[in-house]
Amino acid sequence: MRKLFLVFSLSASDYKHILRIAGKDITGSRKLIVALSEIKGIGYNFAQVLLQSLNISPNIRVGFLTDKELSDIEAAIKNPSRSGMPYWYVNRRKDMDTGSDQHLITSDLDFAISNDIDREKNVMSWRGYRHMFGLRVRGQCTRTTGRRGGAVGVKKTGKPMPGGPSPAAGSGVTTAQTPVTEPAKTTEPSSK
Map out the domains of the chain as residue ranges.
2-88
Tens of pLDDT, residue by residue over 2-49, are 444 444 555 666 788 888 888 888 888 889 999 998 888 888 998 999
User: Residue 121: in which H helix or E strand, if any?
Assistant: helix 106-123
4 alpha carbon, distance to own chain's centre? 38
Closest to 47 in 3D by CA, of 25, 77, 67, 82:
77
Give the confidence band of 184 by pLDDT, cuts at 50, 70, 90: low
Burial of 62 (0-12, 13-18, 19+ CB in 10 A): buried
Give the confidence band of 172 by pLDDT, cuts at 50, 70, 90: low
Residue 94 has pLDDT above 60, yes or no: yes
Give the confidence band of 125 by pLDDT, cuts at 50, 70, 90: very high
Question: Which pLDDT belongs to residue 1?
Answer: 46
pTM recorded for the entire structure: 0.61
Question: Which pLDDT belongs to residue 64?
Answer: 86
**What's the CATH class of domain 2-88?**
mainly alpha
